[in-house]
Amino acid sequence: MRTDFASSDLTGKTIGNWKVGDLIVNNDTTAQYSLFYHVEDENGSAIMKVLDTEKCNRGSKEEGIGRTELLGRETTAFHYETKIAEACAGRHMNNVIRYIDSGELELNGYIIPTVTYVVYELSEGKIGDFLKYSSTTDLVVNLGLLVDKLKSLHQVAKGVKQLHTNEIAHHNITPQSVEVFETNSKYKLGALHTSRCDQKDLKSPERSKMFNGDLTYAPPEAYFDYVIPDKMSAYYQIDTYMLGNLVVYYLTSLNMTTLLDLHLPCTLKEWASRGIGYDAVLPEITNAFDTILGNLKSCICEEELQEPIIGMISCLCNPDPTKRGYPGNFDTAQKNADLQRVLTQLDILYRKAQRLLSQKNHK
């Protein structure tokens, strides 16, 4: 069916050097004003993300915001994502999704002819489509799955560190943002549109809240709009929590935020809606957190790996953002930005799990 909006009607057309294929289903709730297409050029296949001008003009929207304001906000955010992606490509971040191209043009024959796009390398899928959870008691099978998960987590953590080294916080480290390559042997961080940066040449668009990622994976303080004064430190703390959240998801298929909701008198969202301050609820959240850590041991098949993995989750997901991250002789911002201790720990755990698996295979 013919549409008035060029961005919704690109299949079969050529945009720049790209031949546009089928529209891809978008399940990312944080990219609701974007469309995704398969595209090809002489070098192969890629994925094109396009600003959804039709949804900006006709789709559902938040109360209190006009269409013009919404379109302006989303256009600004889209151009910001492009700048972030270009910066990542120029700084050789090999565990962050690779930017290929971007542009803006107009197609004749449409009332709204503008097509604003960015092109990324095409992955084989999201990690959620590849993760396996075993119901068997076979230790070799379960240990093999854990080895694969630790390998993936190590590469994702490298991507986060690469962003932080360049003063970029990701803010949406979820299964939907982990891209899988080379038949489950290479992993990269995607979904750069939620990133936060305060560099002069990459300054984030003004937003009303500190956190703008998927709330179902958000650190608990995000529900209460609780932040510490230093903005970049607060940005890094959110990524640190979300990385730990991902570890929990890999182990259980649920994230820490969901588990907290299940162990509290009501959900974090309901609690925050009552106008209670975060300091007042932190003790009860911490108690629930400690209970969850104790329960998680049973999800780790090898006893030798239980304490170090639980210890890592405890550091990364601490409900108190001022205590989050591995302890050390440096301030909160540095320990959450660097993540070197996390990378080292994940590498040690991966190698130890590999060794244990090899031993059991040779018995």
Lowest-confidence region among 71-85, 94-108, 126-140: 126-140
Domains of the chain: 6-121 (3.30.200.20), 125-361 (1.10.510.10)
The predicted pLDDT at position 46 comes to: 97
Chain-centre distance for alpha carbon 265: 28
Q: Which is more confident, 361 or 106?
A: 106
Alpha helices, H only, 264-339:
268-273, 278-296, 303-316, 332-338
Q: How confident is the model at residue 329 (pLDDT cuts 50, 70, 90)?
A: very low
Mean pLDDT along residues 91-118: 95
Mean pLDDT along residues 206-223: 84
Chain-centre distance for alpha carbon 266: 26
Residue 269 backbone phi and psi in degrees, to 5: -60, -45
Average pLDDT of the chain?
A: 90
Q: How confident is the model at residue 27 (pLDDT cuts 50, 70, 90)?
A: confident
The predicted pLDDT at position 338 comes to: 73
Q: In the numeric block, which tokens belong to residue 7?
A: 């961005």
Residue type, 233: S
Q: In the numeric block, which tokens belong to residue 134?
A: 């075993």
Lowest-confidence region among 65-74, 118-127, 129-138, 175-184: 129-138
Q: In the numeric block, which tokens belong to residue 327?
A: 């302890």
284-311: pLDDT as tens digits = 999 999 999 999 999 998 889 999 999 9
- Does the pLDDT value for residue 331 go beyond 70? no
The predicted pLDDT at position 208 comes to: 63
- Does the pLDDT value for residue 266 go beyond 50? yes
Longest CA–CA span in the chain (Å) reads: 70
- Does the pLDDT value for residue 354 go beyond 70? yes
Locus of tokens 């209670």:
276
Mean pLDDT along residues 145-150: 93
310-326: pLDDT as tens digits = 999 999 999 999 889 87
The predicted pLDDT at position 277 comes to: 93
Mean pLDDT along residues 13-27: 93
Q: How confident is the model at residue 2 (pLDDT cuts 50, 70, 90)?
A: low
- Does the pLDDT value for residue 41 go beyond 70? yes
Q: How confident is the model at residue 137 (pLDDT cuts 50, 70, 90)?
A: low
- Does the pLDDT value for residue 149 go beyond 70? yes
**How many other CB atoms are found less than 10 A from the CB of residue 326?**
18
- Does the pLDDT value for residue 362 go beyond 80? no
Euclidean distance between CA atoms 12 and 291, whole angstroms: 54
Q: How confident is the model at residue 334 (pLDDT cuts 50, 70, 90)?
A: low
Kindly report the pTM of this predicted structure.
Answer: 0.92
- Does the pLDDT value for residue 1 go beyond 60? no
